[in-house]
Amino acid sequence: MIITREPEFLPETPNVFARLGRAVLLSCRESGRALLMTGEAFLHMRTMFSTRSRFDVMYQLYITGVKSLGVITVVALFTGMILALQTGLELRRFSQQVNIGTAVCVSLTREMGPFMTALIVAASVGSAIAAQLGTMTVSEEVSALEIMSISPIRFLVMPRLVALLVMMPLLTVYTDIIGIIGGAIVGKTQLGVSFRAYFDNAVAFAHNKDLYVGLFKAMVFGVVITAVSCHQGFCTKDGAVGVGLATRKTVIVSFLTILVLGYIITRVFYK
């Protein structure tokens, strides 16, 4: 798959319907290119254990996972605390606040854990990928790789895809754990629910399916973030302004796609 392309000339559209139709067709075309790029990156994963690729993958694992732990810890902790507080205040009206452990655990493992993790990674890692690849594109470094017969997808996309596929489920599990602990702190200090009662309810009524569905969502979200950020980076033009626009579009498209796919996956697994 060739990344570099000649500037495209689009004639003026006569009316709003023509502009809308062109926008839809261009969106479908760009989505197809992103899917083809991601599929080729999956094919290149067989080379991930070579000397050069192994170094790139390890570096991307560090950037994606370790560098994201700080913000994920804060967000996960307060997400669990907010869930526990809001749920517990309502359950206390019926003297059922002891069940907040179940509510927090199921909500985090099934939906909020992968969702919040994906939003954080898309905003931090995805935008950084788009900015980096966009800068390489406008400075013609990507074109130089193609001239030297080096696949930009193997060299630039594949390590990031592997890193997100590996780290997204791990970060999601970490988010779930921190969020459940935050809920336990709120339950103990503000709702009078002991740690033992909280964790007993969390374990007793949560199911393995909730965790598996959450991890599956995390992997899907990792692929989405890679596809959107790398594609936007490779499509960057117009210099520094284009890099900023690509970064902005990466965050917006990633957020919207994560929301839609999150609902679809939940609808499929929980009919």
pLDDT tier, 7 (very low <50, low <70, confident <90, very high otherwise)? low
Render pLDDT for 151-206 as a digit per residue (tens, 0 to 9).
889 889 999 999 999 999 999 999 999 999 999 999 888 888 888 888 888 888 77
Domain ranges of the chain: 49-269
Is the entire prediction scored with pTM above 0.85? yes
pLDDT of res. 270: 83
Give the residue among 146, 131, 106 at the shortest CA–CA distance from 248: 131
Render pLDDT for 42-77 as a digit per residue (tens, 0 to 9).
998 888 887 677 888 899 999 998 888 999 999 999
Q: Transcribe 40-100 into DSSP letters.
A: HHHHGGGGTTSHHHHHHHHHHHHHHTGGGHHHHHHHHHHHHHHHHHHHHHHHHTTT-GGGH
Q: Which one-letter amino acid corresponds to residue 185?
A: I
Percent of the chain with pLDDT over 70: 96
Distant-in-sequence, close-in-space partners of 158: CB < 8 Å, separation ≥ 6: 41, 44, 45, 47, 48, 53
Tell whether the model's pLDDT for residue 15 goes beyond 80.
no
Mean pLDDT over the full length of the chain: 87
Return the exposure string of 198-223: e unless at least 16 CB atoms fall within 10 Å of the residue's CB, then b: bbebbeeebeeebbebbbebbbbbbb
pLDDT of res. 56: 87
